[in-house]
Structure 1
Amino acid sequence: MKTPIQKILFGSPGTGKSYRIDREIVPIDLRIKSPENVIKTVFHPEYTYGDFMGKLVPITISKKVEYNFYEGHFLKALAQSYKNLLSHQEGEEVKNVALVIDEINRGNSSAIFGTVFQLLDRAENGWSDYGINVSDLELRKIVDLIGFEEAGTEKSGEGQIPTYKYEGKGQAKTLEKHQDLLSKINIEIQNNKIIGSCIRIPPNLSILATMNTSDNSIYFMDSAFKRRWEWEFVNWDKSKPLAATYGTAGIVDKDEWEELIKKLNSFIKSHHTSIRGIEDKQIGYYFIKQPVTAEQIQNKLMFFLWDSVFNRDKKPLVDLLKVTRDELVTFGDFTKLHNEFIANIMNLNV
């Protein structure tokens, strides 16, 4: 986790996907020494955006009903990663945070992520490419979790504005006057309100998820959502991926990648009668960001072809690979033929 990971591990039930995340991907110093930096949840049909981001919950105190805003799993992980960025000392490594989502396809991911979906595109520096605005309630909960404490109010043209101390130190100031600190986590405040699209996932926050390759009780995950993740197939027989015979040292150069996409889209169009919704099944050059690796092609691209493009009819893949239908039953069978698949696509006459 030297760089942010945003990955879905998928495969048959019982293949050790959750175990791999817990014991191999998430470092032991996060699990054991600083468990507050590992936030876990499980998606299910009743899980909502409120559970993920935060929601108002009524509570009875002294026979009076009050409403408190409780942070969801994502907001908690986001605030913890911000807190680590602000509190780390010069020369030390910033502490990472891992948000782990088990069974990501057993909940309605599009509804659960909501506007957070926009944050999943990451720039080279690890921050979200694009930001989103949040409500005042969500902002107050974020700054509270970071370490800001309300210490009173200050008069302004808009009335009384709350003032805060950071970690209980210094003079109480409005959030706008804490801008030197908040700018370190890309939050801009003006007139005590967020301005611009300023909430972004920072580079020290990784999101890891698991899902079964096929399940009768899953929700549909659209192509735009899938594109924003890296994918890793975990086979039942624990076999290692076959080494790629294309690319150099596992890297596919830009020209070769663009040629592959051009020929792949032609192959997809030539089988439009087997595909529902052909427009959304075309693949853009940024489906995988540069540098493109053979591993990404084998997992992310080929799973998209298997699960989304040719999910109804595998005959085009069978014909291209010159195998029998019995030799291409599972995605595990398909991924083992990735070298032949890429070679045959590149040899097509377009």
Structure 2
Amino acid sequence: MINQDKPIQKILFGSPGTGKSYQIAEIAEKQLGIKSDGHILSNTIKVVFHPEYTYSDFMGKLLPISNGNSVVYKYYPGHFLQALGMAYEALINRKGQNYLLVIDELNRGNAAAIFGSIFQLLDRDNDGWSNYEVDISEMELLGLFNSIGYKTEVTNNHTVRVNDLPLELFINSNLEKEYESEWINEGKVDVLQLLSKCKIKIPPNLSIIATINTSDESIYYLDSAFKRRWSWEYVDAPSNSDITNRRIPADILRLPLSLSDNTSLDWYRCIVGVNEFIKLHHQSIRRIEDKQIGWWFIKPNGCQLTSEEVKDKLMFYLWDGVFTRNKQLLAKFIEDKLNKKNVVLATYADFLVYTEDLLRYWHNNINAVTENELKVDPSEDF
């Protein structure tokens, strides 16, 4: 088991399909000692942010449930409280394990509103604990005790009970026991002291890793105060150097792309060719670092890809996501490189006509596409 004193608090960003989720699994195993069973990581809570995701989903919410002819309310801990409870339980029982909260598509939700006061906890001290604590409600405390594994309930007279004891009595009696035992300064006292005051901190055995994909324009803005509380890691897109240094995933290396004339291309060469083509227009395309495509941008259903699958995903991405505001760059490239005359791209269907010709060019000319081969007006903004 890996014992890591310094927790990870990181955002992975990069082009779509570059394997950010796969990299999280590698970090979890190699740096945190968290094992995976197939595609499922142990000791991990995973959530995907989206525009309808709220603070209540993240922390917890009180929901009605039917109980015979009556309705009762139950508090359900959110993803953050679940992860925090797992980490606290490990400290209380001295398990010596690390835990992980994974947030996919961090900027597709309103992160500032979702985190709310939890935002303060992202500042960590050298010992891995949050620099500050935040107050939580009695109901949130109840949900946290639930996540830790204690039996909790709210009686008819609205008294909160934990392990069949009133909340205050439960905490005080446990604190007394811990101060008299070997647990002092081992983490358990710190946790119960915090909870006795209805306060929480993020402990050193809880890491948080998030991903963002800013190639999607319909996202929420992350302000600088939020950004500086994370370390950032760019996941690079495939390039010529990956072919030169043979850094190609085995499954992608063997994957053919079948064309309508019964010929086939190496899909990995097409991927690199597309990225070189996109980088050619770096002076005109905003955020070029994440407009490229990764090895897994298209996930094949079988042992080969077809040009129809490429039309459905890649060509539309280029048309609608990369060259959104000016299709003249596409038209000029087709005229210059494919020797076509008077190319007019009035509709997406006009662009699809050139799919296989473009794929052949990208496949065969991955080293020939340089920024000097096509004149670009740097004043144009796309």
**TM-score, length of structure 1 as denominator length:** 0.59
Q: CA shift at 1:111, angstroms?
A: 0.5
Report the Cα distance in structure 1 between the residues aligned to 2:190 and 2:43, rounded to whole angstroms.
17
- Which one of 68, 81, 85 corresponds to residue 91 of structure 2? 85
Quote the residue 1:18 is aligned against: 21
Q: CA shift at 1:66, angstroms?
A: 1.2
Q: CA shift at 1:160, angstroms?
A: 6.3
Per-residue CA deviation, residues 37-63 of structure 1 (Å, 9 max, x unaligned), is 110010000000011000011111213
Question: Per the alignment, in what secondary structure is the counterpart of residue 124 of structure 2?
Answer: coil
Quote the residue 1:277 is aligned against: none
- Tell me which amino acid in the other structure corresponds to 2:203: P
- Which one of 159, 174, 181 corresponds to residue 178 of structure 1? 174
| Change beyond 3 A, Cα 1:329–1:54 | closer
Q: CA shift at 1:221, angstroms?
A: 0.9
- Tell me which amino acid in the other structure corresponds to 1:129: N
Report the Cα distance in structure 1 between the residues aligned to 2:153 and 2:236, rounded to whole angstroms.
54
Q: CA shift at 1:88, angstroms?
A: 1.9
| Change beyond 3 A, Cα 1:32–1:185 | farther
| Change beyond 3 A, Cα 1:163–1:203 | closer
Report the Cα distance in structure 1 between the residues aligned to 2:24 and 2:162, rounded to whole angstroms.
41
- Which one of 54, 59, 62 corresponds to residue 65 of structure 2? 59
8 Å Cα contact 2:47/2:79 also seen in 1 = yes
Matched, 1:162 2:161: yes
Report the Cα distance in structure 2 between the residues aligned to 1:86 and 1:143, rounded to whole angstroms.
12
Report the Cα distance in structure 1 between the residues aligned to 2:154 and 2:216, rounded to whole angstroms.
53
Quote the residue 2:283 is aligned against: 326
| Change beyond 3 A, Cα 1:326–1:203 | same
When Rg is computed on C-alpha atoms for both structures, the one with the higher figure is 2
Runs of 4+ in 1 over 4 A off after TM superposition: 33-36, 150-153, 158-161, 180-183, 327-331
Quote the residue 2:233 is aligned against: 232
Alignment of 1:14-53 (within 5 A): 14-22=17-25, 24-27=26-29, 29-32=34-37, 35=41, 37-53=43-59
| Change beyond 3 A, Cα 1:39–1:163 | closer
| Change beyond 3 A, Cα 1:161–1:136 | closer
Question: Per the alignment, in what secondary structure is the counterpart of residue 174 of structure 1?
Answer: helix
RMSD: 3.4
Question: Per the alignment, in what secondary structure is the counterpart of residue 125 of structure 1?
Answer: coil
Quote the residue 1:74 is aligned against: 80
Q: CA shift at 1:29, angstroms?
A: 4.1
Alignment of 1:123-272 (within 5 A): 123-150=125-152, 162=161, 164=163, 173-180=169-176, 181=178, 184-188=189-193, 194-195=196-197, 198-237=199-238
Q: CA shift at 1:177, angstroms?
A: 1.8
Listed as ranges, the gaps of 5+ residues in structure 2 are 179-186, 243-280, 291-382
8 Å Cα contact 2:91/2:188 also seen in 1 = no
Per-residue CA deviation, residues 141-163 of structure 1 (Å, 9 max, x unaligned), is 2123223335999xxxx996735
Quote the residue 2:363 is aligned against: none
- Tell me which amino acid in the other structure corresponds to 1:229: W
Question: Per the alignment, in what secondary structure is the counterpart of residue 326 of structure 1?
Answer: coil
Per-residue CA deviation, residues 257-303 of structure 1 (Å, 9 max, x unaligned), is xxxxxxxxxxxxxxxxxxxxxxxxxxxxxxxxxxxxxxxxxxxxxxx
- Which one of 100, 118, 140 corresponds to residue 98 of structure 1? 100
| Change beyond 3 A, Cα 1:25–1:159 | closer
Report the Cα distance in structure 1 between the residues aligned to 2:286 and 2:162, rounded to whole angstroms.
62
Q: CA shift at 1:213, angstroms?
A: 2.8
8 Å Cα contact 1:187/1:194 also seen in 2 = yes
**TM-score, length of structure 2 as denominator length:** 0.54
Q: CA shift at 1:164, angstroms?
A: 3.0
Alignment of 1:273-292 (within 5 A): none
8 Å Cα contact 1:85/1:185 also seen in 2 = no
- Tell me which amino acid in the other structure corresponds to 1:95: Q
Question: Per the alignment, in what secondary structure is the counterpart of residue 81 of structure 1?
Answer: helix
Question: Per the alignment, in what secondary structure is the counterpart of residue 50 of structure 2?
Answer: coil
Question: Per the alignment, in what secondary structure is the counterpart of residue 237 of structure 1?
Answer: coil
Report the Cα distance in structure 2 between the residues aligned to 1:210 and 1:161, rounded to whole angstroms.
38
Identity %: 47
